[in-house]
Amino acid sequence: AQSVTQLGSHVSVSEGALVLLRCNYSSSVPPYLFWYVQYPNQGLQLLLKYTSAATLVKGINGFEAEFKKSETSFHLTKPSAHMSDAAEYFCAVSDPLGGGADGLTFGKGTHLIIQP
């Protein structure tokens, strides 16, 4: 069974500061990994995904994440936070070898707060 742990239910950073959202996963096989952002009363928007290609993945809105197999981590970063980045962020994992059953397993989410 797969699982995802997001450290910190709330993260607060100042505008212009580094954003770091932590995600660790548990999987018996190298998984596919995803970061999604959710704004209030909206669906989930894909930020970036790792599907066994380059370990450093660049996404939209200046976000990137690095897959570290030895640490079973997939932390999300952005060099300089903007007010518009305030939202809920979800890390998710799917099993590429699940025999077709590849639904996402999500973490509990991290609420990102941007201080002016």
Binding site for another protein (CB under 8 A): 4, 32, 34, 36, 41-46, 49, 51, 90, 92, 94-96, 100-109
Find the shortest distance in angstroms from Cβ 31 to another protein. 9
CB nearer to another protein: give 73 or 89: 89
What six digits make up the tokens of 18? 């580094």
Longest Cα pair distance anywhere in the chain, in angstroms? 47
CB nearer to another protein: give 48 or 114: 48
Find the shortest distance in angstroms from Cβ 51 to another protein. 5
- Distance, in Å, from the CA atom of 34 to the CA atom of 103, rounded to the nearest integer, reads 12
Find the shortest distance in angstroms from Cβ 112 to another protein. 15
Token pair 């305030």 in the structure block, residue: 86
CB nearer to another protein: give 28 or 41: 41
- Distance, in Å, from the CA atom of 107 to the CA atom of 90, rounded to the nearest integer, reads 6
Find the shortest distance in angstroms from Cβ 104 to another protein. 7
CB nearer to another protein: give 22 or 49: 49
Q: Bridge partners of 13? A: 114
For residue 24, CA distances in Å to 6, 27, 29 come to 6, 10, 14
